[in-house]
Amino acid sequence: MNPNGYTGAMEVLQLQVHNEMQRILEVVCELTGLPSNWNRTLLLVDGAEFRGRKPFSCSIELDADLARLPHRWATSIHEALHAVSAGYDRNDFQAFRGWEEGTVEQLQRLLRPTILGRLGVTMKEDIWQEHEAHHRFNEYLRALEEIRTAIAEEDTPESATEFYIRLLATPLRDRPAFVLGLGFRHAELPRTPFVRVFSAANAVLTRRPL
């Protein structure tokens, strides 16, 4: 029995997913230029009420049932991005939850094809449609996209990826001020309309979940 109490098939699965996370984080660190805070502990939780989560102890936890499915890749990449997020601590996360979860989930979707390609994992993109259609963080993604497109000089996958990596590298508590500054520095952006866009989006991104 290993130190986490896994035996047999579960131990094999835990080792597989742990190795996958190590490989994912290597690519994530390369693509974002950010260091990992993961403490190398990965736990599979039976009957979890979540897909994945990264406690502030810097371990990573995944639902054991999900770990057996192809959809685990999206969740693992999402949690790996939390592991490189700047300023990820309990108090700031509670105050700026949408700024963290929205940034991480959008980057997961943008970087996933590249990450899986680097790892030699081949999957059809339509497998993600149902997974993403009713994702609980979609409102955060829409709010962040309202801000991004309001200040974007060009709207391409590359420019979107760069924007979200810059957000991920900005300490969580400073992200609202960071994008507000971007909007104010944009020479052709009318200030009042942008402030309205920002204020509406920020209200969503800082709203406490029910």
The answer to whether the beta carbons of residues 56 and 94 sit under 8 Å apart is no
Reported confidence tier of residue 64, pLDDT bands at 50, 70, 90: very high
176 in a structural domain:
yes
Q: Is residue 146 part of a domain?
A: yes
pLDDT at 122 over 70: yes
Q: Domain range for residue 130?
A: 8-205
pLDDT at 2 over 80: no
In-domain check, residue 15: yes
Which of 194, 125, 117, 110 has its CA nearest to residue 159?
110
Q: 123-171: per-residue pLDDT in tens?
A: 887 888 877 888 889 999 999 999 999 988 778 878 999 999 999 999 9
Q: How confident is the model at residue 186 (pLDDT cuts 50, 70, 90)?
A: confident
pLDDT exceeds cutoff 80 at 69: yes
Confirm whether 3 is domain-assigned.
no
Number of domains in the chain: 1
Q: Is residue 1 part of a domain?
A: no
Q: Assess whether pLDDT exceeds 60 at residue 29.
A: yes
Asked whether the beta carbons of 43 and 34 are under 8 A apart, the reply is no
Give the H/E segment covering residue 44.
strand 42-45
CB 198 within 8 A of CB 180: yes
Domain assignment of residue 31, yes or no:
yes
Asked whether residue 154 is domain-assigned, the answer is: yes
Strands 60-63 and 52-53: antiparallel
For residue 129, the model assigns a pLDDT of 82
State both tokens at 59: 């371990």
Residue 2 forms part of a structural domain: no
Q: Give which of 66, 67, 51 is closest to 18, Cα–Cα.
A: 67
Which has the closest alpha carbon to 6: 74, 67, 83? 67
